[in-house]
Amino acid sequence: MKDLQPILLPGIDRKRPLIIAGPCSAETEEQVMNTARQLAEQGIKIFRAGIWKPRTKPGGFEGVGVEGLAWLKRVKEETGMYTATEVATERHVFEALKHGIDILWIGARTTANPFAVQEIADALKGVDIPVLIKNPVNPDLELWIGAVERIYNAGLRRLGVIHRGFSSYDKHLYRNMPQWHIPIELRRRLPNLPIFCDPSHIGGKRELVAPLCQQAMDMGFDGLIVESHCDPDCAWSDKNQQVTPEALSYILNMLVIRETTQTTENLAELRNQIDQLDNQLLELLAKRMRVSREIGQYKKEHSMPVLQTSRYDEILQKRMAQAVELGMGAEFMKEVMQAIHEESVHQQMEILNQ
């Protein structure tokens, strides 16, 4: 995908970050216009609003539908802002294009469905319009890349992705877990693909929007897509994660934008230290696995089961506590120990099966 093109729109500065903002849902014409005017006053150039809203269960507000596209057209005419909305079907694409929408995005639920993405790709053949693809609901990088490839294969080149976090059964600070390593790996695989962050859906709470925006900028993301409503507490959907246009302006003004083109020559010595430490880690892990195989041999000779849950739980809790004392995250160490444990079990199973 080396021929991907920047998401350039006339009149918009190319400096990082590119901002897309507006309400979760277009609710009424008055709400749309009021929010758009306030955002335009704050210098926002691209207005977003959900027209069709896929809900987890029936009975909730599922968007105003085609009627709302006329409101977005009015936003464009009266404020000069570009407009963006989510599409999930061929009909959505047709109606959005007919009403002059400037940017389309594919939602997380749709990205998870290759048939739906292909339907959108087929509907977009021969059309030159920026398309952003949100990550799928679950942490599946290949599915995310597959969705990008389907749109790319339809002939579109102004593409980008939106990192909106991943669902989790466990309770966490965030609505959707950031799992930053996934978009980082995506950037390694597709370095020319612009990445936007959706702090509203990651955080789920308006007080988390600002720190998530800063984290995205610190990692070199290209843009932000933020939910902003003229009266968030009265929003018909996702009211807790929306901020006022004034609050959004404050958040953006406080962002520290770090230079992504700085030379890294001065980091050479520190990176050399990292390489040496990584080599030591690998050697230590290899020694640990040798011990695991010896334990496997002992268990085989004494007819003992490989899995001993109580011992593993004891180690896990102890290592997590030690990690916190040493300035690392407990969840990070949990993931590390789980990976080590899985490999240790694999090594012991090989001994038992010999």
Instruction: Determine the structural domain holding residue 339 and report its residue range.
Output: 271-352
Would 3 be classed as within a structural domain?
A: no
Confidence of residue 58 (pLDDT cuts 50, 70, 90): confident
Examine the domain organization and report whether 34 and 176 are in the same domain: yes
Examine the domain organization and report whether 318 and 213 are in the same domain: no
Examine the domain organization and report whether 83 and 124 are in the same domain: yes
Examine the domain organization and report whether 114 and 230 are in the same domain: yes
Would 4 be classed as within a structural domain?
A: no
Confidence of residue 1 (pLDDT cuts 50, 70, 90): confident
Tell me the pLDDT tens digit for each residue of 168-226.
Answer: 877 788 999 999 999 999 999 999 999 999 999 999 999 999 999 999 999 999 999 99
CATH number of residue 281's parent domain: 1.20.59.10
pLDDT mean across residues, the chain: 93
Residue 272: per-residue pLDDT: 85
Would 12 be classed as within a structural domain?
A: no
Examine the domain organization and report whether 130 and 56 are in the same domain: yes
Confidence of residue 136 (pLDDT cuts 50, 70, 90): very high
Total domains, the chain: 2
DSSP character at residue 228? B
Residue 55: per-residue pLDDT: 74
What gap in Å lies between CA 104 and CA 109, rounded to an integer? 15
The residue out of 254, 281, 316 marking a domain boundary is 254
Examine the domain organization and report whether 237 and 285 are in the same domain: no
Would 99 be classed as within a structural domain?
A: yes
Span 237-246, average pLDDT: 97
Residue 263 has pLDDT above 70, yes or no: no
Confidence of residue 131 (pLDDT cuts 50, 70, 90): very high
Examine the domain organization and report whether 211 and 322 are in the same domain: no
Residue 139: per-residue pLDDT: 95
Would 7 be classed as within a structural domain?
A: no
Confidence of residue 50 (pLDDT cuts 50, 70, 90): very high
Would 64 be classed as within a structural domain?
A: yes
What gap in Å lies between CA 53 and CA 285, rounded to an integer? 48
Would 10 be classed as within a structural domain?
A: no
Residue 181: per-residue pLDDT: 92
Examine the domain organization and report whether 249 and 130 are in the same domain: yes
How many Cβ atoms sit within 10 Å of the Cβ of residue 66? 15
**In terms of C-beta density within 10 A (0-12 exposed, 13-18 middle, 19 or more buried), how is residue 290 classed?**
exposed
CATH number of residue 46's parent domain: 3.20.20.70
Would 291 be classed as within a structural domain?
A: yes
The residue out of 188, 223, 254 marking a domain boundary is 254
Residue 307 has pLDDT above 90, yes or no: no
Examine the domain organization and report whether 199 and 80 are in the same domain: yes
Among 89-93, 237-241, 256-260, 334-338, the range scoring the smallest mean pLDDT is: 256-260
The residue out of 254, 279, 313 marking a domain boundary is 254
Examine the domain organization and report whether 193 and 107 are in the same domain: yes
Residue 262: per-residue pLDDT: 65
pTM above 0.95, yes or no: no
What gap in Å lies between CA 19 and CA 84, rounded to an integer? 11
Examine the domain organization and report whether 187 and 318 are in the same domain: no
Examine the domain organization and report whether 235 and 331 are in the same domain: no
CA 280, 286, 292, 294 dihedral sign is negative
What gap in Å lies between CA 132 and CA 96, rounded to an integer? 14
**In terms of C-beta density within 10 A (0-12 exposed, 13-18 middle, 19 or more buried), how is residue 312 classed?**
middle
What gap in Å lies between CA 126 and CA 281, rounded to an integer? 52
Residue 340 has pLDDT above 90, yes or no: yes
Residue 7 has pLDDT above 90, yes or no: no
